Structure formats: C-alpha cells, structure tokens
Amino acid sequence: MLKNDTKALKTCVLKAFLLLVALPCAVEAQNIPFSDILKTALEDIRVVHNRQNTEAIRGLRFRVPLIRRAEARIGFNGSTLGDTLFGTIRNEDFYGIVIGPNSLRERRRQADFQAAVVAQSEVERGVVLAAAVSERYQAYAAWYFAWKLRTEQEKLSQWLQKQADLWRIRIEQGVPVKASDILQNERDQYNLLLQIQENKNTEMLQLQRLRQYADWPPNQLPDTLGITTSTTIEQQLSALKSAPVYTPLTALREARWQVAKADQAMEDAQNRQIFNFVQIGYDDPVLAVVRPNRRRTFNNFSFRVAVEMPIPGNNNPQRAKAAIDALEARSDRDITQQLSERSAALQVTELENTLSARQACSLQIEKSLTRRLLEDPTFLQQMTPAEWIEGQILMQRRALQCLETEQQMLLAYLRLLELKGWLAREPLQNFLTIR
C-alpha cells in the first residue's frame, strides 16, 4: 500500500513539473497579434514628445499683464532756487502714483493666439501618430509578404530541383534530353535563389524593425493568420468612395492657417490703445512765513487721466507680414486638400484595378486545365513524371503571381485608407488582420 502511494505521489509530482515546464513554453510560443503591434504607435517617441510639448505650451504665458507700468513719483512744485524775499523755501511737495494699463484688445487677441497654437500642437499629434501607424502597417506588410513569397518560392525551388533530378536520371539512363530545357532550369533556379535570399533579407530587416516597437521575446513572431481578404476590401471600398478626404496633414494645414489668422489679428490690435495712464497725486504745501490755523490738506489731492490718439499705421510692416503669412497658410491648406482629393480618387482607381487583377488571377487558377489534370486521378495516371512535374511548376508559378498581385492589392488598400484619413483615426482600428 505504501509503495503504491509513493508511486502515485511521484507520478503527480512529475506531472506537475512537466506542466510547469510546458506552460511557459506554450505561452512564449504564441505569435504577436498585429493589433498589439499597432497599439505601440500610441507610445511612439514622436507621439510622447508631442504630448509633452502640448502640455508645455499650455503652461506658457502668451498674454501681457493687465498693468503695463506702475510708477511712484516724488517731486516738488514752486521755487527750485533760493527766494530772496522769504529765504530758501518750496511752495509744496508732490507724491503721486501712475498706473498705465495694457490694451484689453491686445490681451484678447493674445489669448486667441494661444488657443490657436495649442490647437495646432494637438493637431500635430495626429500627424506624428499617422506616421507611426503607417510605419507599423508598412513594416508588417513588408515582413508578411516577404515571408509568404519566400515560402512559396522555396516550394517552386523544390519542384525545379525535382525536375533537374529527373533530367539527371534520364541522362544517366541515356534518354535524350533537350539542352535548352536544362539551361532554362538552371537559370530559373539561380534567379529564384536570388529572389529567395532577397525576400529573406527583407523578412529579417522588417522583423527587426517590428521588434523595435516593443520588447517582445526573441522566439515570438508576428501573427500570420487572418490577413485581410479581397472580399473585405471590396466591402470597405464602397464606404471609402463616399467618405470625405480629410487627412491629418490637411488638418495641420488648417490649424496653421488659424494660427496665422490669430497672429494677424494680434498684430492688427497693436497701436490702437486710447487710454494711456491714470495718475493720483498729493501736493503737500510748505508754508514758512505765516502758518494758517487750519490746513485743509484734503483739497491737495490731484487726479489726471491721459489719453492718446492711436495711429495704427505705425504697425503697418508687422501687420502686412502677418497678412502675407495668413494668405500663404490658406493657400497651403487649399492646395493640400485639393491634392489629397486627387490622390485619393486616383488611389480608388488603382485599388479597383488590383482587385480586378486579383480576381482574374484567382479565376485563372480555378478554371485552369492544368489544375484539373493534376487533381483528376484518371488524367494523372496518363501523365509522365516530367509532365506531372511541369504541371506542378506551372501551378506554383501562378500561385506566386497571385501572391504578388495580393501584395499590390493590400498596399493599395492601405494607401487609400491613409489618403482618406482612416488609418490613424482614434481609437486605432486594425484594417490589416482579424487579430
């Protein structure tokens, strides 16, 4: 009984140990969903710095204070030199305070300018976020298709090698073989080897770029399941056609125009102040000869208000420069918007063309007689090994062509999303994969 219990205990401990060992491996073996890669754009260094700069701009003081100047004046009125009749005396001392306010109109325009600058900084976040998001889409798409193309090219390389082995056997058996076929096979294998190496280099480069976005384990790879299909793209295309074109770059041009207009209004408010200063003073009389019994000092206060005639023309150079800046900013906004609309219209046509090419490629494979021969057991028995290998090579080449067409279609789709301003809309949406 004791032996059975000991054996059962050892079995349980061994199972628990194996479970603990296998669990981290199972977790580490999971692929990285593209949605997780996309979320790293929110913590991109450019987005973080933009957020910090915006907070710093909010804390800056753009407006001048309400009081432009404050003075304390001390002096005397009357005789400043010795008087021959009464001796060295002064008629009265003067004590005064002068307060000069800033223009209320200028303060309002400065507040409007600050609001426009803050809004521009917030819009710039959309531009840097769009750049970060686009980089991640492009890196993942380049990595995925480099991996996919390399995989299919290696399959084609295997079939070409089988064809070369078959011809080698025929030569050894003395069966006639065309030299042109052997030369063409070797040329195809060499070119294919270069393409495989090029795609492998691209795959490793883009994988390293994706790993820079977050600290993922070295044994984890991006997920390759659930890539967007042509059916999904066709459904999105109808909505994209009717959607307005408003990219983050257009929004930035609009914000810069608003800043330029606020700056123009601020310059236009210069040199328009009428109220200059107010002065409150007190005159303390000095009576050296006959001192009165009752001194009414409350009658010695004085009050002065200074106004001036504004001459706005003194600020004509700065006002003209601000007006030119506003005109240029508006022109940049209009040009950017028009170019974006034209580019989006052309991109819609390009996406439709790639969709048509992808459908034609799929239809060609579906209706291929070679495919029917390779799948039909009756015809397959009538084919020679050389014909069977040639058919497999032909179908593999068509699969590669369809994959290249799919790559063009997906890149055109991402470009259209970017031109329409959908790619970096918040909250971020994954348009590339289902995960």
In this predicted model, what pLDDT tens digit does every residue of 109-142 receive, in sequence order?
A: 999 999 999 999 999 999 999 999 999 999 999 9
Shared domain check, 207 and 287: no
Helix (H), strand (E) at residue 400: helix 385-420
Q: What are the φ and ψ backbone dihedral angles of 197, each rounded to 5 degrees?
A: -65, -40
Q: How confident is the model at residue 420 (pLDDT cuts 50, 70, 90)?
A: very high
Q: Is 42 within the bounds of a domain?
A: yes
Asked whether residue 86 carries a pLDDT value surpassing 90, the answer given is no
Residue range 252-264: mean pLDDT, rounded: 95
Cβ pair 143, 206 in contact under 8 A:
yes
Shared domain check, 323 and 180: yes
Q: How confident is the model at residue 15 (pLDDT cuts 50, 70, 90)?
A: very low
Shared domain check, 329 and 207: yes
Q: Which residue has the higher pLDDT, 14 or 346?
A: 346
Q: How confident is the model at residue 305 (pLDDT cuts 50, 70, 90)?
A: confident
Q: Is 21 within the bounds of a domain?
A: no
What does the block give as tokens for 370?
Answer: 């070679």
Shared domain check, 178 and 213: yes
Shared domain check, 314 and 301: no
Shared domain check, 327 and 401: yes
Q: How confident is the model at residue 316 (pLDDT cuts 50, 70, 90)?
A: confident
DSSP string, 231-263: HHHHHHHHHHHHS----HHHHHHHHHHHHHHHH
Q: What is the pTM of this model?
A: 0.82
Shared domain check, 194 and 219: yes
Asked whether residue 158 carries a pLDDT value surpassing 90, the answer given is yes
CB atoms within 10 A of CB 222: 21
pLDDT, position 359: 94
**Alpha-helical runs (H) found in 29-103:** 34-39, 45-59
Q: How confident is the model at residue 287 (pLDDT cuts 50, 70, 90)?
A: low
Q: Which of 259, 288, 309 is the last residue of a domain?
A: 309
| Structural domain containing residue 213 | 34-66+102-273+310-420
Amino acid identity of 256?
A: R
Q: Is 376 within the bounds of a domain?
A: yes
Q: How confident is the model at residue 10 (pLDDT cuts 50, 70, 90)?
A: very low
Q: Is 243 within the bounds of a domain?
A: yes
Q: Which of 262, 287, 309 is the last residue of a domain?
A: 309
How far apart are the C-alpha atoms of 53 and 5, rounded to whole Å? 68
Q: Is 87 within the bounds of a domain?
A: yes
In this predicted model, what pLDDT tens digit does every residue of 228-252 receive, in sequence order?
A: 999 999 999 999 999 999 999 999 9
Shared domain check, 95 and 132: no
In this predicted model, what pLDDT tens digit does every residue of 194-227 receive, in sequence order?
A: 999 999 999 999 999 999 998 888 888 898 888 9
Shared domain check, 85 and 192: no
Q: Is 82 within the bounds of a domain?
A: yes
- Number of folded domains in the chain? 2
DSSP 8-state code for residue 198: H
CATH number of the domain enclosing 236: 1.20.1600.10
Shared domain check, 356 and 385: yes
Shared domain check, 284 and 171: no
How far apart are the C-alpha atoms of 256 and 333, rounded to whole Å? 8
In this predicted model, what pLDDT tens digit does every residue of 380-419 receive, in sequence order?
A: 888 888 899 999 999 999 999 999 999 999 999 999 999 9
Asked whether residue 104 carries a pLDDT value surpassing 80, the answer given is yes
Helix (H), strand (E) at residue 98: strand 92-101
How far apart are the C-alpha atoms of 150 and 403, rounded to whole Å? 11
Q: Which of 264, 286, 309 is the last residue of a domain?
A: 309
Shared domain check, 372 and 228: yes
pLDDT, position 137: 96
Q: Is 19 within the bounds of a domain?
A: no
The answer to whether the peptide bond before residue 218 is cis (omega within 30 degrees of 0) is no
Q: Is 14 within the bounds of a domain?
A: no
